[in-house]
Chain A
């Protein structure tokens, strides 16, 4: 009887992991639609290709070496046995392959944050080469110091210092934004974005319905992102935790959306949809480091803080001439940091110093190594499309396919 219950619990936890992993995979569609909606028509195919390809690169590189770097074991997943029970020191409570599957979709999420920030002017294959480095090395290293529990180059262990990041505000989102920031600094702004006297020129997105769809898809996928990070569901305790996480994740998104919408209305006089969409995501990022401990009201407030912060961050980055077409650095980086800092408010297991040290470690590592990686790639194959290619659009220059051929003036 006891064995039967164990089997059932194993199956349920595995099932839960796989479904949550599938939901996080669905976030890739969300990112693709959001980014496709916020870039111009002439660059849409390129960003879609980038999103599809980076997901594939992430899955492959993480399988080749990333998972091993992050959690130990051999390359090419050779030590993951299908049955987590036979011959293991301690019987696993869910299938080992499910663990890999759940982790790999997080890598892809971190990577896709970069694609939006460098949109409309980075060479496709230069980006994919960076994706190989990020998903095979940069992310797994900082992942090994955080979720992997290893000391940072043997110096200190973040978990011991009180660093807590439940589902990855810092480990996934801020890390992705750090790489994105490195990319944006290396590649520069889109032509015509900033005027000679500091004016910020608007470059409106081509398809706001897609951007909205993408945001809702991300919102749905986030239930898997945060919910799956409970790592179990087959007990009263974990089922309750899962329910709280789902509830808080949703509450934070709602808070972020409203706060951003109202902030935009106050600052600009109009209800800017793109700010509201970024606000939803900001709310989600803000709660991701600690969705298990706050009350629903506090979760809404945390999300709202993210929503207000993201609007100011977007306009500030523009004033600093950091061109981020989709607001990725603001949503994932600035609010990712906020998410980390909010954890000790409701979680005694985390300390402010621990969160800051963790944030600095993650940011310093990812930003620094990304700068190096982008520099090397720039020397080898160039980072940015030529001025003519940027003018005629990446779709024609890099992909040979147009997204909206019947609406283009070329025919």
Chain B
């Protein structure tokens, strides 16, 4: 089982969520985050004083997937969240040791 963490541009959330639903992913967690990669920030102006906005708003999506679905999930997120412009984001894949469904107590892939 793997945990797929994707940092994407906020306006791409709907597209990405739909793409994941279409391949059969049933649950995701979404967090509002800030960050930068090589995109860096931009300069804004307030009453004549410049200030640099270093951290840009992003959306973090976390999905627990079975190993069999991993490649499809990566493909779906990459396609849906892609714009071609700098700042599209990244996907991190980490191993999941255990999953438990709180309501029923199921574990492992049955809990996904």
Residues in A lying within 8 Å of B, measured CB to CB: 200-204, 267-270, 272, 274-275, 311, 314-315, 318, 327
Contact = CB atoms under 8 A, between A and B. Distances in A.
B42 interface: no
Residue picked from A200, A269, A270, most chain B C-beta under 10 Å = A200
A275 B47 contact: yes
Given A202-B46, A318-B48, 14 more contacts: A200-B49, A202-B44, A202-B45, A202-B47, A202-B50, A202-B51, A267-B48, A268-B45, A269-B45, A270-B45, A272-B47, A274-B46, A315-B47, A318-B49
A318 B48 CA distance: 9
Contacts, number: 35
Contacts of B47: 202, 272, 274-275, 314-315, 318, 327
Contacts of A268: 45, 48
13 contacts: A200-B48, A201-B51, A202-B44, A202-B45, A202-B50, A202-B51, A203-B46, A204-B46, A268-B48, A272-B48, A274-B47, A311-B48, A327-B47
Interface in B45-103: 45-51
7 interchain residue pairs of minimum CB distance: A202-B46, A202-B51, A200-B49, A202-B49, A315-B48, A204-B46, A268-B45
Interface string B1-44: 00000000000000000000000000000000000000000001
A403 to B, nearest CB: 20
A202 B45 CA distance: 8
Contacts of B48: 200, 267-268, 272, 311, 314-315, 318
Contacts of A267: 48
B42 to A, nearest CB: 13
A201 B49 contact: yes
B45 to A, nearest CB: 5
Nearest to A278: B47
B49 A272 contact: no
Nearest to A205: B46
Contacts of A270: 45
Contacts of B49: 200-202, 318
A268 B47 CA distance: 9
Nearest to A275: B47
